[in-house]
Amino acid sequence: MSKNILKEADEIINNRSEEKERMYGPFEEGMRRAAMICAGMTGKEWSGSDMYAALVALKLSRHSYNYKEDNLLDAVAYIGGLDNYIKKYGYGETEKPINLTDADAGYGDKK
> Quick check: is 106 in a domain?
no
For 21-69, how does the pLDDT look when each residue is reduced to its tens digit (9 = 90+)?
788 888 889 999 999 999 999 999 999 999 999 999 999 999 999 999 9
> Quick check: is 83 in a domain?
yes
> Quick check: is 104 in a domain?
no
Which residues, other chains included, contact 111 with Cβ-Cβ below 8 Å and sequence gap of 6+?
88, 89, 90, 96
Domain that holds residue 60: 5-94
> Quick check: is 57 in a domain?
yes
Question: Cα–Cα distance between 5 and 108 in angstroms, integer?
Answer: 30
Number of domains in the chain: 1
> Quick check: is 78 in a domain?
yes
Assign 14 a pLDDT band (cuts: 50, 70, 90).
confident
pTM as predicted: 0.79
